[in-house]
Amino acid sequence: VLLGIGDDAALLRPAPGTELVATVDTLVEGRHFLAGADPRSLGHRALAVSLSDLAAMGAAPCWALLALTLPEADATWLAAFARGFGELAQRHGVALVGGNTARGPLNIAVQLLGSVPQGAALRRSGARAGDAVYVTGTPGDAAAGREPGQRSAALRERCEFPVPRVTAGQALRGIASACIDVSDGLAADLGKLATASGLEARLQPLLLPLSEDLLAFAGPQRAVELALSGGEDYELCFTVPPARQAGLAAALPPELCRITRIGTVETASGPLDAAAEGFDHFRS
Ligand SMILES: [Mg+2]
């Protein structure tokens, strides 16, 4: 950061030999969260969704810009929001280099900039037929945490304070052939990766890593449904060519994060259909 908050704009200098990676996300009240949601969770989630996108690219996060639209200036709300945002930013070495506030219905927009060594970014389009498909963590927990009547603090935590796989994403550079983060649901996001690679995903539901908490809450059948289509897990779904599978365990040891092989990508048998089941923002 050559010049942070305080001038008309920030001045930033990416490290030599790196490429700039940019993403932006908006959280809208009534759409992405309910009125009265915990402001510390909102601060965390607003940054976590963007961290997750950079993780999917194998990028290291660097700089964030925040545009906040608020119905009123509530100091208690703002302090809690700043704590949620700030704690996660600090954990990942992210500097807030710009901000803007306006009055209006609650709306939180975060732009996140990161860097990746030249030519090393992970993309959705790099998978080849026969590559194995993996997922980090235990998808479905966040969706279960949102369901009414669920009392598991662990599942609620997974929904309100998702952990973006920033370290794992960087560790997958040179190992994964393609990568996407799971925001809309595992089935839908894996479908997008496969489509971008011109392939078809073959997912084996029996291999899905389901957490004990999810199984206890939802039962085996509903747990699989939530893992496939629940969304907002912010796990990484990625493909690894057969020749690199031996290197995967060393790059991503279990203590860094759990990874599970859940299927393969194969040559498409028919016309590609991008409309896999999942969260479609424009479906009523
Ligand atoms: Mg994404």
Distance 10 CA to ligand 1 centre (A): 25
Instruction: Going residue by residue through the chain, which has 284 residues, state the pLDDT in tens, using 9 for 90 and above.
Output: 999 998 999 999 999 999 999 999 999 998 888 888 999 999 999 999 999 999 999 999 999 999 999 999 899 999 999 999 999 999 999 999 999 999 999 999 999 999 999 999 999 999 999 999 999 999 999 999 998 877 899 999 999 999 999 999 999 999 999 999 999 999 999 999 999 999 999 999 999 999 999 999 999 999 999 999 999 999 999 999 999 999 999 999 999 999 999 999 999 886 655 444 444 444 43
How do residues 129-175 score in pLDDT, each as one tens digit? 999 999 999 999 999 999 887 789 999 999 999 999 999 999 999 99
Distance 220 CA to ligand 1 centre (A): 27
Q: What pLDDT, on the 0 to 100 scale, is given for residue 274? A: 46
Distance 235 CA to ligand 1 centre (A): 10
Q: What pLDDT, on the 0 to 100 scale, is given for residue 284? A: 33
Distance 6 CA to ligand 1 centre (A): 31
Distance 73 CA to ligand 1 centre (A): 31
Distance 52 CA to ligand 1 centre (A): 7
Rounded distance between C-alpha atoms, residue 48 and residue 166, angstroms: 10
Distance 53 CA to ligand 1 centre (A): 4
Q: What pLDDT, on the 0 to 100 scale, is given for residue 271? A: 61
Rounded distance between C-alpha atoms, residue 119 and residue 19, angstroms: 8
Q: What pLDDT, on the 0 to 100 scale, is given for residue 31? A: 87
Distance 7 CA to ligand 1 centre (A): 31
36 φ/ψ sector (left φ>0, alpha ψ -120 to 50, else beta): left
Distance 49 CA to ligand 1 centre (A): 8
Distance 282 CA to ligand 1 centre (A): 17
Distance 164 CA to ligand 1 centre (A): 11
Distance 216 CA to ligand 1 centre (A): 29
Of 8, 92, 15, 80, nearest to 52 by C-alpha is 92
Q: What pLDDT, on the 0 to 100 scale, is given for residue 278? A: 42
Between the CA atoms of 43, 143, 131 and 196, what dihedral angle is there, to the nearest 10 degrees?
-70
Of 146, 139, 140, nearest to 160 by C-alpha is 146
How do residues 202-218 score in pLDDT, each as one tens digit? 999 999 999 999 999 99
Distance 229 CA to ligand 1 centre (A): 15
Distance 155 CA to ligand 1 centre (A): 22
Distance 54 CA to ligand 1 centre (A): 8
